[in-house]
Structure formats: C-alpha cells, structure tokens
Amino acid sequence: MSKKINLSRAKNLLKVVPNKQSFWLCTNQDLRSLNTLANTLEEVNDDVFRYHVNKYKNDFSAWVRDVVGDNDFAREISRIKTKETLVRKIKEKVEESREIVSKYKTFAKKRKKVKKRLKKKVKKRKVGMKKPKRKIKKPKKTIRKRKSIRKERRIIKKKPSKRLKRKIGKRVVRKIKKKKIKKRKKR
C-alpha cells in the first residue's frame, strides 16, 4: 500500500503542469493534470493504451515520476497493466488528494475564526482589569561619566518633568527613586 498523503503531496498531485511538461498521447492530445489523464484514458481505445504501456515501458508512470514528482505513486502505476485499473487508481488518488486539500481549507478557515475571536476577547477588557505586563527590553549598557550622573541626581531631587525623563531615560529615573526610598528606610 502507499504512504499517507500529506498536504504538499496532495497539492502536487492536483496541480496543472505547464504546456511544455504536459503528457502527449499518441492521439495528439496534451494532458496537463492527473484528472484529465484519467478522464481521457476512459475514452481512449486499447491500442493507444498499449502504445504507452507495454512490456518494456510505462509512459504514465515515467510522467508522474518526472513531472508530477511523486515517486511512490509512479511505482504503484508502473505495476498496473490494464487500462481500467489504471483509470480507477488515478481517480482514487485524485479524489483522496481533493479530500485532503478540502479538509485543510476548512481547518484553516476555522483556525482564522478562532484567532479573530481571541483577538476580540483580548481587546474587550473590563474597566477594573489591569493590562497584561509587557516584557521590557533591557537597554544596552553605556558608560557614562560621573559628572553626568551627579547632574542627573541633582536634577531628579526636584520633581522630574516629562521632558527630562525622556532626555535621561525613564529607567534611570526609576533606579534613582528606588535608591532614595531605600536610603529613607535605612534612616
């Protein structure tokens, strides 16, 4: 039996290949996907099928392996020697791939809806609730001269303004205030 089909493999099996890589039937038809291959094989007579599949070669499995890019499915097809079983096998694989892709699409839609709901819940906070704490990135340590630090301390003894906080940095102001509080407690 073949392996389970994942999403990328299913999309690969359902894709429509460019004209240059299409499968050429000896009836002068260009087939660009597995689905069209299965549909045209039903209508084609046995002589055309025997031209592409015989004791020495299997053009369908070679095309699936080289162009579609599915080695496992190509190996399965290479063992098949009758037109009816080949058509049935290809149709089963195409249907299985379609189911997987459709399941993924519905799952993705549900996931988007859940994300939207979560965003709405986060936005709607009650008045009494606090905002969640955000992690503050630590600034890079810079070497400052002692004089500038002393000046900052002198300035902060007075009530610092918003402009000053921006200039010095809010963290420096907080640190100095904490030190003041510790000193008061020690006294």
Q: What pLDDT shows up at residue 87?
A: 94
Strands 30-31 and 23-24: antiparallel
The DSSP 8-state label assigned to residue 20 in this structure reads G
CB 77 within 8 A of CB 2: no
What does the alpha-carbon distance between residue 35 and residue 97 come to, in Å, rounded to a whole number? 11
Q: Which two tokens stand for residue 127?
A: 């008045």
Q: Which residue has the tokens 């907080």?
A: 174
Q: Tell me the domain boundaries of the chain.
A: 7-120, 146-186
Mean pLDDT in consecutive groups of 10 residues from the start of the chain, 187 residues? 74 88 89 91 92 91 91 91 93 92 81 70 58 63 57 60 65 72 70
What does the alpha-carbon distance between residue 15 and residue 34 come to, in Å, rounded to a whole number? 8
Closest CA to 64 of 54, 50, 78: 78
Q: What pLDDT shows up at residue 181?
A: 74
CB 156 within 8 A of CB 177: yes
Q: What pLDDT shows up at residue 49?
A: 92
